[in-house]
Chain A
Protein backbone atom coordinates (compact mmCIF):
# COMPACT_ATOMS: atom_id res chain seq x y z
CA UNK A 1 0.00 0.00 0.00
CA UNK A 2 2.74 2.42 1.01
CA UNK A 3 4.28 2.63 -2.44
CA UNK A 4 0.92 3.09 -4.07
CA UNK A 5 0.07 5.97 -1.72
CA UNK A 6 3.43 7.60 -2.28
CA UNK A 7 3.17 7.39 -6.05
CA UNK A 8 -0.35 8.80 -6.10
CA UNK A 9 0.42 11.65 -3.71
CA UNK A 10 3.53 12.59 -5.67
CA UNK A 11 1.55 12.57 -8.91
CA UNK A 12 -1.14 14.82 -7.37
CA UNK A 13 1.43 17.26 -6.02
CA UNK A 14 3.33 17.26 -9.31
CA UNK A 15 0.16 18.12 -11.18
CA UNK A 16 -0.66 21.00 -8.79
CA UNK A 17 2.91 22.27 -8.76
CA UNK A 18 3.21 21.95 -12.52
CA UNK A 19 6.40 19.89 -12.36
CA UNK A 20 7.62 16.36 -13.06
CA UNK A 21 6.79 13.73 -10.37
CA UNK A 22 10.52 12.98 -10.21
CA UNK A 23 11.10 16.47 -8.81
CA UNK A 24 8.61 15.82 -6.01
CA UNK A 25 11.06 14.34 -3.52
CA UNK A 26 10.10 13.49 0.08
CA UNK A 27 12.14 16.35 1.51
CA UNK A 28 10.76 19.02 -0.80
CA UNK A 29 8.27 21.46 0.74
CA UNK A 30 5.14 22.79 -0.95
CA UNK A 31 6.78 26.24 -1.02
CA UNK A 32 9.94 24.94 -2.65
CA UNK A 33 7.74 23.46 -5.38
CA UNK A 34 6.15 26.87 -5.89
CA UNK A 35 2.75 25.94 -4.44
CA UNK A 36 0.61 28.70 -2.94
CA UNK A 37 -2.33 28.32 -0.55
CA UNK A 38 -4.78 27.73 -3.37
CA UNK A 39 -2.63 24.95 -4.80
CA UNK A 40 -2.54 23.38 -1.34
CA UNK A 41 -6.32 23.49 -1.03
CA UNK A 42 -6.62 21.88 -4.46
CA UNK A 43 -4.06 19.25 -3.49
CA UNK A 44 -5.98 18.35 -0.34
CA UNK A 45 -9.16 18.06 -2.40
CA UNK A 46 -7.46 15.79 -4.94
CA UNK A 47 -6.03 13.60 -2.16
CA UNK A 48 -9.46 13.25 -0.54
CA UNK A 49 -10.97 12.24 -3.87
CA UNK A 50 -8.16 9.81 -4.75
CA UNK A 51 -8.14 7.96 -1.41
CA UNK A 52 -11.75 8.49 -0.28
CA UNK A 53 -10.60 10.07 2.98
CA UNK A 54 -11.33 13.26 4.94
CA UNK A 55 -8.26 15.41 5.41
CA UNK A 56 -8.37 17.74 8.44
CA UNK A 57 -7.02 20.90 6.84
CA UNK A 58 -8.10 24.51 7.40
CA UNK A 59 -6.31 27.14 5.32
CA UNK A 60 -6.52 29.57 8.26
CA UNK A 61 -4.66 27.24 10.58
CA UNK A 62 -2.65 24.88 8.36
CA UNK A 63 -0.33 23.95 11.24
CA UNK A 64 -3.25 22.70 13.32
CA UNK A 65 -5.57 19.80 12.58
CA UNK A 66 -2.83 17.18 12.69
CA UNK A 67 -2.26 17.03 8.94
CA UNK A 68 1.41 17.87 8.46
CA UNK A 69 2.05 19.69 5.18
CA UNK A 70 5.61 20.87 5.84
CA UNK A 71 7.09 18.44 3.32
CA UNK A 72 6.06 15.94 0.68
CA UNK A 73 7.24 13.10 2.93
CA UNK A 74 5.10 14.40 5.79
CA UNK A 75 2.07 14.63 3.53
CA UNK A 76 2.62 11.04 2.34
CA UNK A 77 2.88 9.76 5.93
CA UNK A 78 -0.26 11.67 6.94
CA UNK A 79 -2.18 10.24 4.00
CA UNK A 80 -0.97 6.73 4.88
CA UNK A 81 -2.27 7.22 8.43
CA UNK A 82 -5.65 8.39 7.18
CA UNK A 83 -5.91 5.49 4.72
CA UNK A 84 -5.10 3.04 7.54
CA UNK A 85 -7.68 4.70 9.82
CA UNK A 86 -10.30 4.41 7.12
CA UNK A 87 -9.52 0.70 6.64
CA UNK A 88 -9.62 0.03 10.40
Chain B
Protein backbone atom coordinates (compact mmCIF):
# COMPACT_ATOMS: atom_id res chain seq x y z
CA UNK B 1 0.00 0.00 0.00
CA UNK B 2 1.28 3.46 -0.92
CA UNK B 3 1.06 6.44 1.40
CA UNK B 4 -0.94 9.40 0.09
CA UNK B 5 -0.24 13.08 0.70
CA UNK B 6 -1.73 16.38 -0.39
CA UNK B 7 0.68 18.67 -2.23
CA UNK B 8 -1.62 21.37 -3.54
CA UNK B 9 -4.94 23.01 -2.75
CA UNK B 10 -7.13 25.52 -4.51
CA UNK B 11 -10.55 27.03 -4.00
CA UNK B 12 -13.11 29.68 -4.77
CA UNK B 13 -16.00 29.96 -2.36
CA UNK B 14 -18.07 32.56 -0.49
CA UNK B 15 -15.16 33.26 1.88
CA UNK B 16 -12.53 33.96 -0.72
CA UNK B 17 -11.31 33.72 -4.28
CA UNK B 18 -8.34 31.55 -3.31
CA UNK B 19 -6.94 29.57 -0.38
CA UNK B 20 -5.19 32.54 1.23
CA UNK B 21 -8.36 34.64 1.37
CA UNK B 22 -10.43 31.66 2.53
CA UNK B 23 -8.15 30.69 5.39
CA UNK B 24 -7.86 34.33 6.49
CA UNK B 25 -11.67 34.49 6.66
CA UNK B 26 -11.82 31.21 8.62
CA UNK B 27 -9.24 32.49 11.11
CA UNK B 28 -11.27 35.69 11.57
CA UNK B 29 -14.57 33.84 11.84
CA UNK B 30 -15.90 35.93 8.97
CA UNK B 31 -19.20 35.21 7.25
CA UNK B 32 -19.58 34.83 3.51
CA UNK B 33 -23.36 34.62 3.78
CA UNK B 34 -25.49 37.52 2.60
CA UNK B 35 -28.49 38.54 0.51
CA UNK B 36 -28.93 36.47 -2.66
CA UNK B 37 -28.37 38.44 -5.82
CA UNK B 38 -29.59 36.83 -9.05
CA UNK B 39 -32.57 36.95 -11.36
CA UNK B 40 -35.95 36.52 -9.59
CA UNK B 41 -34.33 36.25 -6.14
CA UNK B 42 -37.13 38.50 -4.87
CA UNK B 43 -39.58 35.62 -5.51
CA UNK B 44 -37.75 33.36 -3.06
CA UNK B 45 -38.81 33.06 0.54
CA UNK B 46 -35.20 32.24 1.47
CA UNK B 47 -33.29 35.40 0.72
CA UNK B 48 -29.77 34.50 1.92
CA UNK B 49 -26.93 32.31 0.73
CA UNK B 50 -23.19 31.99 0.42
CA UNK B 51 -22.69 33.41 -3.04
CA UNK B 52 -19.33 33.88 -4.71
CA UNK B 53 -19.26 37.65 -5.09
CA UNK B 54 -17.10 39.99 -7.17
CA UNK B 55 -16.67 37.19 -9.67
CA UNK B 56 -15.95 38.15 -13.26
CA UNK B 57 -15.58 34.94 -15.30
CA UNK B 58 -14.97 36.92 -18.51
CA UNK B 59 -11.65 38.03 -16.99
CA UNK B 60 -10.59 34.42 -16.41
CA UNK B 61 -11.95 32.59 -19.45
CA UNK B 62 -12.24 33.47 -23.12
CA UNK B 63 -15.48 33.63 -25.07
CA UNK B 64 -15.26 30.09 -26.44
CA UNK B 65 -14.51 28.66 -23.01
CA UNK B 66 -17.41 30.54 -21.43
CA UNK B 67 -19.75 29.04 -24.01
CA UNK B 68 -18.78 25.61 -22.66
CA UNK B 69 -18.36 26.27 -18.93
CA UNK B 70 -21.29 26.28 -16.56
CA UNK B 71 -20.60 28.19 -13.36
CA UNK B 72 -19.70 24.97 -11.49
CA UNK B 73 -17.08 24.15 -14.14
CA UNK B 74 -15.66 27.66 -13.87
CA UNK B 75 -15.31 27.24 -10.12
CA UNK B 76 -13.68 23.81 -10.54
CA UNK B 77 -11.12 25.09 -13.05
CA UNK B 78 -10.19 28.07 -10.89
CA UNK B 79 -9.65 25.79 -7.89
CA UNK B 80 -7.70 23.23 -9.92
CA UNK B 81 -5.38 25.87 -11.40
CA UNK B 82 -4.47 27.10 -7.93
CA UNK B 83 -3.93 23.56 -6.60
CA UNK B 84 -1.75 22.45 -9.51
CA UNK B 85 0.29 25.67 -9.39
CA UNK B 86 0.99 25.14 -5.69
CA UNK B 87 1.97 21.50 -6.22
CA UNK B 88 4.53 22.49 -8.84
CA UNK B 89 3.56 19.45 -10.91
CA UNK B 90 3.90 19.47 -14.67
CA UNK B 91 1.83 16.79 -16.33
CA UNK B 92 3.97 15.32 -19.11
CA UNK B 93 4.82 11.91 -20.48
CA UNK B 94 4.21 9.03 -18.11
CA UNK B 95 2.81 11.21 -15.33
CA UNK B 96 0.22 12.73 -17.68
CA UNK B 97 -0.68 9.25 -18.94
CA UNK B 98 -1.34 7.96 -15.42
CA UNK B 99 -2.64 11.01 -13.49
CA UNK B 100 -6.36 11.69 -13.29
CA UNK B 101 -9.22 13.61 -11.76
CA UNK B 102 -12.29 12.78 -9.69
CA UNK B 103 -14.72 15.50 -8.69
CA UNK B 104 -17.88 15.52 -6.63
CA UNK B 105 -20.92 17.53 -7.62
CA UNK B 106 -24.53 16.97 -6.66
CA UNK B 107 -26.25 19.05 -9.29
CA UNK B 108 -23.75 19.61 -12.07
CA UNK B 109 -24.71 22.50 -14.34
CA UNK B 110 -27.79 23.64 -12.44
CA UNK B 111 -27.57 27.18 -13.82
CA UNK B 112 -27.53 25.77 -17.34
CA UNK B 113 -30.63 23.64 -16.66
CA UNK B 114 -32.33 26.68 -15.15
CA UNK B 115 -31.51 28.97 -18.07
CA UNK B 116 -32.50 26.49 -20.73
CA UNK B 117 -35.84 25.76 -19.01
CA UNK B 118 -36.51 29.49 -18.83
CA UNK B 119 -35.82 29.72 -22.53
CA UNK B 120 -38.30 27.01 -23.52
CA UNK B 121 -40.95 27.38 -20.80
CA UNK B 122 -40.94 31.03 -19.76
CA UNK B 123 -39.74 32.71 -22.94
CA UNK B 124 -41.60 30.16 -25.08
CA UNK B 125 -38.69 29.69 -27.45
CA UNK B 126 -38.13 26.43 -29.26
CA UNK B 127 -34.36 26.54 -29.33
CA UNK B 128 -31.71 26.39 -26.60
CA UNK B 129 -27.97 27.03 -26.69
CA UNK B 130 -26.22 24.31 -28.72
CA UNK B 131 -23.86 23.46 -25.84
CA UNK B 132 -26.56 23.01 -23.23
CA UNK B 133 -25.82 19.30 -22.74
CA UNK B 134 -22.00 19.51 -22.52
CA UNK B 135 -22.38 22.42 -20.09
CA UNK B 136 -24.85 20.80 -17.70
CA UNK B 137 -23.53 17.23 -17.52
CA UNK B 138 -22.20 16.28 -14.09
CA UNK B 139 -18.82 15.22 -15.44
CA UNK B 140 -18.23 18.50 -17.32
CA UNK B 141 -15.99 19.96 -14.63
CA UNK B 142 -13.89 16.79 -14.29
CA UNK B 143 -13.56 16.57 -18.06
CA UNK B 144 -12.46 20.19 -18.45
CA UNK B 145 -9.85 19.71 -15.72
CA UNK B 146 -8.51 16.66 -17.53
CA UNK B 147 -8.33 18.68 -20.75
CA UNK B 148 -6.79 21.73 -19.11
CA UNK B 149 -3.91 19.77 -17.59
CA UNK B 150 -3.67 16.90 -20.07
CA UNK B 151 -4.58 14.26 -17.46
CA UNK B 152 -5.05 11.06 -19.45
CA UNK B 153 -5.45 8.55 -16.63
CA UNK B 154 -8.65 7.82 -14.63
CA UNK B 155 -11.31 10.53 -14.73
CA UNK B 156 -14.87 10.55 -13.41
CA UNK B 157 -17.42 12.41 -11.32
CA UNK B 158 -19.29 11.40 -8.20
CA UNK B 159 -22.79 12.45 -7.19
CA UNK B 160 -23.79 11.62 -3.63
CA UNK B 161 -25.56 14.87 -2.72
CA UNK B 162 -23.90 16.51 0.28
CA UNK B 163 -21.18 13.86 0.52
CA UNK B 164 -20.12 14.02 -3.14
CA UNK B 165 -16.72 15.60 -2.65
CA UNK B 166 -15.82 13.40 0.32
CA UNK B 167 -16.71 10.35 -1.74
CA UNK B 168 -14.63 11.75 -4.62
CA UNK B 169 -11.61 12.48 -2.42
CA UNK B 170 -11.93 9.11 -0.71
CA UNK B 171 -11.86 7.37 -4.06
CA UNK B 172 -8.82 9.40 -5.11
CA UNK B 173 -7.12 8.38 -1.87
CA UNK B 174 -7.88 4.70 -2.40
CA UNK B 175 -6.78 4.81 -6.03
CA UNK B 176 -3.42 6.43 -5.23
CA UNK B 177 -2.98 4.17 -2.20
CA UNK B 178 -3.53 1.08 -4.36
CA UNK B 179 -1.01 2.25 -6.96
CA UNK B 180 -3.67 2.98 -9.60
CA UNK B 181 -2.38 6.50 -10.20
CA UNK B 182 0.59 8.48 -8.84
CA UNK B 183 -1.41 11.73 -8.74
CA UNK B 184 -5.14 12.50 -8.66
CA UNK B 185 -6.80 15.90 -8.64
CA UNK B 186 -9.80 15.54 -6.36
CA UNK B 187 -12.44 17.71 -4.74
CA UNK B 188 -15.81 19.09 -5.62
CA UNK B 189 -17.69 21.92 -7.31
CA UNK B 190 -21.27 23.17 -6.96
CA UNK B 191 -23.26 26.13 -8.25
CA UNK B 192 -26.91 25.71 -7.32
CA UNK B 193 -27.59 29.28 -6.32
CA UNK B 194 -30.07 30.25 -9.00
CA UNK B 195 -33.83 30.68 -8.86
CA UNK B 196 -34.72 27.08 -9.67
CA UNK B 197 -31.96 25.67 -7.49
CA UNK B 198 -32.96 27.55 -4.34
CA UNK B 199 -36.69 27.13 -5.03
CA UNK B 200 -36.26 23.37 -4.95
CA UNK B 201 -34.53 23.56 -1.56
CA UNK B 202 -37.16 25.90 -0.13
CA UNK B 203 -39.69 23.14 -0.60
CA UNK B 204 -38.04 20.97 2.04
CA UNK B 205 -38.52 23.69 4.67
CA UNK B 206 -35.15 23.13 6.25
CA UNK B 207 -33.61 26.40 5.08
CA UNK B 208 -32.88 29.27 7.42
CA UNK B 209 -33.93 32.79 6.50
CA UNK B 210 -31.43 34.47 8.81
CA UNK B 211 -28.16 32.56 9.42
CA UNK B 212 -26.56 29.13 9.64
CA UNK B 213 -26.04 28.39 13.34
CA UNK B 214 -24.82 24.80 13.66
CA UNK B 215 -25.03 23.23 17.14
CA UNK B 216 -26.62 26.37 18.59
CA UNK B 217 -29.92 25.99 20.45
CA UNK B 218 -31.16 28.89 18.31
CA UNK B 219 -30.40 27.20 14.97
CA UNK B 220 -32.97 27.70 12.24
CA UNK B 221 -31.75 25.52 9.40
CA UNK B 222 -29.24 25.35 6.60
CA UNK B 223 -27.98 28.04 4.26
CA UNK B 224 -26.83 27.14 0.76
CA UNK B 225 -23.47 28.15 -0.66
CA UNK B 226 -21.56 27.66 -3.92
CA UNK B 227 -17.97 27.23 -5.00
CA UNK B 228 -15.27 24.61 -5.38
CA UNK B 229 -12.12 23.22 -3.85
CA UNK B 230 -9.61 20.90 -5.53
CA UNK B 231 -6.60 19.11 -4.03
CA UNK B 232 -3.58 17.34 -5.44
CA UNK B 233 -3.50 13.83 -3.98
CA UNK B 234 -0.02 12.42 -4.56
CA UNK B 235 1.80 9.25 -3.70
CA UNK B 236 4.26 10.06 -0.87
CA UNK B 237 7.41 8.77 -2.57
CA UNK B 238 6.49 10.59 -5.77
CA UNK B 239 6.16 13.83 -3.82
CA UNK B 240 9.39 13.27 -1.90
CA UNK B 241 11.36 12.41 -5.02
CA UNK B 242 10.60 15.83 -6.47
CA UNK B 243 11.01 17.70 -3.18
CA UNK B 244 7.39 18.84 -3.04
CA UNK B 245 5.95 20.65 -0.05
CA UNK B 246 3.55 18.29 1.72
CA UNK B 247 0.47 19.88 3.28
CA UNK B 248 -0.99 16.82 5.01
CA UNK B 249 -1.22 13.04 4.77
CA UNK B 250 -4.50 11.31 3.98
CA UNK B 251 -4.59 8.16 6.10
CA UNK B 252 -8.13 6.83 6.20
CA UNK B 253 -11.49 6.78 4.50
CA UNK B 254 -14.77 5.01 5.09
CA UNK B 255 -18.18 5.11 3.50
CA UNK B 256 -21.42 3.63 4.75
CA UNK B 257 -25.07 3.66 3.78
CA UNK B 258 -27.92 4.09 6.27
CA UNK B 259 -30.32 2.02 4.16
CA UNK B 260 -33.07 3.74 6.11
CA UNK B 261 -34.54 7.08 5.03
CA UNK B 262 -34.10 9.36 2.01
CA UNK B 263 -33.63 12.53 4.11
CA UNK B 264 -33.51 11.72 7.82
CA UNK B 265 -29.93 11.00 8.98
CA UNK B 266 -29.01 7.88 10.93
CA UNK B 267 -26.88 7.92 14.05
CA UNK B 268 -25.69 4.38 13.40
CA UNK B 269 -24.81 5.06 9.77
CA UNK B 270 -22.78 8.14 10.71
CA UNK B 271 -21.07 6.35 13.60
CA UNK B 272 -20.10 3.40 11.40
CA UNK B 273 -18.49 5.80 8.88
CA UNK B 274 -16.58 7.68 11.59
CA UNK B 275 -15.37 4.45 13.20
CA UNK B 276 -14.49 3.06 9.79
CA UNK B 277 -12.31 6.04 8.89
CA UNK B 278 -10.47 5.75 12.21
CA UNK B 279 -9.86 2.04 11.69
CA UNK B 280 -8.78 2.52 8.08
CA UNK B 281 -6.32 5.21 9.18
CA UNK B 282 -4.97 3.19 12.11
CA UNK B 283 -6.14 5.91 14.49
CA UNK B 284 -7.49 5.61 18.02
CA UNK B 285 -10.16 8.12 19.09
CA UNK B 286 -7.69 9.92 21.37
CA UNK B 287 -5.36 10.54 18.40
CA UNK B 288 -7.92 12.83 16.80
CA UNK B 289 -7.92 16.46 17.93
CA UNK B 290 -10.43 17.97 15.53
CA UNK B 291 -13.42 16.96 13.47
CA UNK B 292 -14.74 19.19 10.74
CA UNK B 293 -18.39 18.37 11.27
CA UNK B 294 -21.06 17.98 8.64
CA UNK B 295 -22.89 20.48 10.90
CA UNK B 296 -25.61 21.68 8.56
CA UNK B 297 -27.48 23.71 11.16
CA UNK B 298 -30.58 21.53 10.96
CA UNK B 299 -31.86 19.97 14.12
CA UNK B 300 -31.87 16.50 12.56
CA UNK B 301 -28.24 16.61 11.44
CA UNK B 302 -26.65 18.34 14.38
CA UNK B 303 -28.15 16.14 17.08
CA UNK B 304 -27.58 12.93 15.14
CA UNK B 305 -23.99 13.87 14.34
CA UNK B 306 -23.13 14.76 17.95
CA UNK B 307 -24.64 11.49 19.16
CA UNK B 308 -22.70 9.52 16.54
CA UNK B 309 -19.42 11.19 17.54
CA UNK B 310 -20.12 10.45 21.19
CA UNK B 311 -20.86 6.81 20.33
CA UNK B 312 -17.50 6.38 18.61
CA UNK B 313 -15.30 8.58 20.81
CA UNK B 314 -16.74 7.82 24.20
CA UNK B 315 -14.75 9.66 26.89
CA UNK B 316 -12.31 10.93 24.25
CA UNK B 317 -15.12 13.19 22.96
CA UNK B 318 -14.42 15.48 25.91
CA UNK B 319 -11.00 16.39 24.50
CA UNK B 320 -12.21 16.79 20.95
CA UNK B 321 -12.86 20.02 19.07
CA UNK B 322 -15.50 19.93 16.36
CA UNK B 323 -16.64 22.84 14.24
CA UNK B 324 -18.88 23.48 11.29
CA UNK B 325 -17.43 25.99 8.85
CA UNK B 326 -20.79 25.91 7.05
CA UNK B 327 -21.65 28.65 9.53
CA UNK B 328 -19.29 30.85 7.48
CA UNK B 329 -19.49 29.61 3.88
CA UNK B 330 -22.87 27.90 3.87
CA UNK B 331 -23.58 24.39 2.63
CA UNK B 332 -21.81 23.93 -0.69
CA UNK B 333 -23.68 20.62 -1.20
CA UNK B 334 -21.50 18.52 -3.52
CA UNK B 335 -18.47 20.78 -2.95
CA UNK B 336 -18.84 21.17 0.76
CA UNK B 337 -16.47 18.44 1.96
CA UNK B 338 -13.75 19.81 -0.31
CA UNK B 339 -13.97 23.38 1.02
CA UNK B 340 -14.14 21.97 4.54
CA UNK B 341 -10.96 19.97 3.97
CA UNK B 342 -9.18 23.34 3.78
CA UNK B 343 -10.08 23.86 7.44
CA UNK B 344 -8.77 20.37 8.29
CA UNK B 345 -5.43 21.06 6.58
CA UNK B 346 -5.21 24.46 8.31
CA UNK B 347 -5.73 22.71 11.66
CA UNK B 348 -2.93 20.23 10.95
CA UNK B 349 -0.50 22.60 9.27
CA UNK B 350 -1.02 25.87 11.09
CA UNK B 351 -2.51 24.78 14.40
CA UNK B 352 -5.58 26.96 13.90
CA UNK B 353 -9.06 25.51 14.41
CA UNK B 354 -11.74 27.26 12.35
CA UNK B 355 -14.72 28.25 14.49
CA UNK B 356 -18.46 27.59 14.36
CA UNK B 357 -19.75 31.14 14.04
CA UNK B 358 -23.27 32.35 14.75
CA UNK B 359 -23.28 30.28 17.94
CA UNK B 360 -25.62 31.84 20.49
CA UNK B 361 -26.57 29.21 23.07
CA UNK B 362 -25.62 25.60 23.72
CA UNK B 363 -27.99 22.80 22.77
CA UNK B 364 -27.97 20.16 25.55
CA UNK B 365 -28.18 17.50 22.84
CA UNK B 366 -24.93 18.76 21.28
CA UNK B 367 -22.66 18.70 24.35
CA UNK B 368 -19.33 18.89 22.50
CA UNK B 369 -16.69 21.62 22.17
CA UNK B 370 -17.88 23.25 18.96
CA UNK B 371 -15.22 26.01 18.97
CA UNK B 372 -17.90 28.70 19.20
CA UNK B 373 -17.48 31.95 17.26
CA UNK B 374 -13.71 32.44 17.63
CA UNK B 375 -10.90 30.47 15.98
CA UNK B 376 -8.57 28.69 18.37
CA UNK B 377 -4.87 27.89 18.33
CA UNK B 378 -4.33 24.22 19.09
CA UNK B 379 -1.86 21.57 18.03
CA UNK B 380 -3.58 18.59 16.48
CA UNK B 381 -1.91 15.62 14.84
CA UNK B 382 -4.93 13.93 13.27
CA UNK B 383 -8.34 15.16 12.08
CA UNK B 384 -11.55 13.82 10.55
CA UNK B 385 -13.88 15.39 8.01
CA UNK B 386 -17.52 14.24 8.10
CA UNK B 387 -20.07 14.27 5.31
CA UNK B 388 -23.52 12.71 5.61
CA UNK B 389 -25.69 12.98 2.51
CA UNK B 390 -29.38 12.94 1.78
CA UNK B 391 -30.05 9.39 0.74
CA UNK B 392 -28.17 8.13 3.80
CA UNK B 393 -24.76 7.95 2.13
CA UNK B 394 -21.93 8.79 4.52
CA UNK B 395 -18.25 9.49 3.81
CA UNK B 396 -15.56 10.32 6.36
CA UNK B 397 -11.90 11.15 5.68
CA UNK B 398 -9.02 10.92 8.16
CA UNK B 399 -5.88 13.04 7.82
CA UNK B 400 -2.61 13.36 9.70
CA UNK B 401 0.05 16.03 9.86
CA UNK B 402 2.51 15.99 6.98
CA UNK B 403 5.13 13.26 7.60
A59:B45 contact, CB within 8 angstroms: no
**Given A60-B220, A61-B299, A41 and B205 contact (CB-CB distance below 8 Å):** yes
The answer on a CB contact under 8 Å between A59 and B206 is: yes
| A44 lies within 8 A of chain B by Cβ | yes
Cα–Cα distance between A45 and B264 once the two chains are bound (Å): 19
Contacts of B45 in A (CB 8 A): 54
Q: Which residues of A in the span 21-75 have a Cβ within 8 Å of any Cβ on B?
A: 37-38, 41, 44-45, 54, 57-61
Q: Which residues of B lie under 8 Å from residue A44 when comparing CB positions?
A: 205
Contact assessment for B220 and A59 in the assembled complex, using a CB-CB cutoff below 8 Å: no
User: What's the least CB distance linking A18 to chain B, in Å?
Assistant: 17
Q: Is the interface of A mostly helix, strand, loop or mixed?
A: loop
Nearest A residue to B263 via CB reads A38
Question: How far does the alpha carbon of A61 sit from the alpha carbon of B210 in the complex, in Å?
Answer: 13
Known A54-B45, A59-B204, A61-B299: A37·B264 in contact at CB below 8 Å: yes
Partner of A58, one of B203, B221, B264, B300: B221
Q: Which of the listed residues A44, A57, A58 has the most CB atoms from chain B within 10 Å of its own CB? A: A58
| Inter-chain contact A58/B220, CB cutoff 8 Å | yes
User: Size band of the A side of the interface?
Assistant: 10 to 19
Task: Tell me which residues from 253 to 272 in chain B have a Cβ below 8 Å from any Cβ of chain A.
Answer: 263-264
Report whether B263 and A58 are in contact in the complex, using a CB–CB cutoff of 8 Å. Answer: no
CB of B219 within 8 A of chain A? Answer: yes
| Residue B298 interfacial (CB < 8 Å) | yes
Closest to A42 in B: B203
Q: Kindly identify, within residues 187 to 236 of chain B, every residue whose CB is under 8 Å from any CB belonging to chain A.
A: 203-208, 219-221
B-side contacts of A54, CB under 8 Å: 45
Instruction: Kindly list chain A residues whose C-beta atoms are within 8 Å of the C-beta of B205.
Output: 41, 44, 57-59
Decide yes or no: A45 and B299 within 8 Å by CB, A54-B45, A60-B220, A61-B220 being known contacts.
Answer: no
How far apart are the CA atoms of A70 and B187 in the complex, in Å? 44
Option from A37, A38, A41, A60 in Cβ contact (under 8 Å) with B221? A60
Residues of chain A within 8 A of B299, CB atoms compared: 60-61
A41 and B204 form a contact (CB under 8 A): yes
- Interface residues as binary, B268-299 with A (CB distance below 8 Å gives 1, 0 otherwise): 00000000000000000000000000000111
- Residues in A neighbouring B206, C-beta threshold 8 A: 58-60
| Complex CA distance for A54 and B203, rounded to whole angstroms | 12
Q: Which of A38, A41, A57, A60 has the most CB of B within 10 A?
A: A60
B381 to chain A, nearest CB (A): 35
**Which residues of B have CB within 8 Å of A58?**
205-208, 220-221
Separation in Å of the A62 CB from the closest CB of chain B?
9
Q: Chain B contacts of A61 at CB under 8 A?
A: 220-221, 299
> Given known contacts A37-B264, A38-B263, is B203 in contact with A60 (CB within 8 Å)?
no
* A37 nearest CB neighbor, chain B only: B264
B residues within 8 A CB of A60?
Answer: 206, 208, 219-221, 297-300
Residue on A nearest B262 in the bound complex, by CB:
A38
Q: Within the assembled complex, what's the spacing in Å between the Cα atoms of A38 and B219?
A: 20
CB pair B203–A45 under 8 Å, yes or no, is: yes
Question: Within the assembled complex, what's the spacing in Å between the Cα atoms of A38 and B220?
Answer: 17
Give min CB distance, B213 to chain A, whole Å.
10
Q: How far is the CA of A61 from the CA of B363 in the complex (A)?
A: 13
How long is the Cα–Cα vector from A54 to B45 in the complex, in angstroms? 10
Q: CB-nearest residue of chain A relative to B203?
A: A45
Q: Which B residue sits closest to A57, measured CB to CB?
A: B205
Which B positions have Cβ atoms within 8 angstroms of A?
Answer: 45, 203-208, 219-221, 263-264, 297-300
User: Which residues from chain A sit less than 8 Å from chain B, CB to CB?
Assistant: 37-38, 41, 44-45, 54, 57-61
Can you list 29 A-B contacts (CB < 8 A)?
Answer: A37-B264, A37-B300, A38-B263, A41-B203, A41-B205, A44-B205, A45-B203, A54-B45, A57-B205, A58-B205, A58-B206, A58-B207, A58-B220, A58-B221, A59-B204, A59-B205, A59-B206, A59-B221, A59-B298, A60-B206, A60-B208, A60-B220, A60-B221, A60-B298, A60-B299, A60-B300, A61-B220, A61-B221, A61-B299
Q: A37-B264, A41-B204, A60-B219 are in contact. List 17 more A-B contacts (CB 8 A).
A: A41-B205, A45-B203, A58-B206, A58-B207, A58-B208, A58-B220, A59-B205, A59-B206, A59-B221, A59-B298, A60-B206, A60-B208, A60-B220, A60-B299, A60-B300, A61-B220, A61-B221
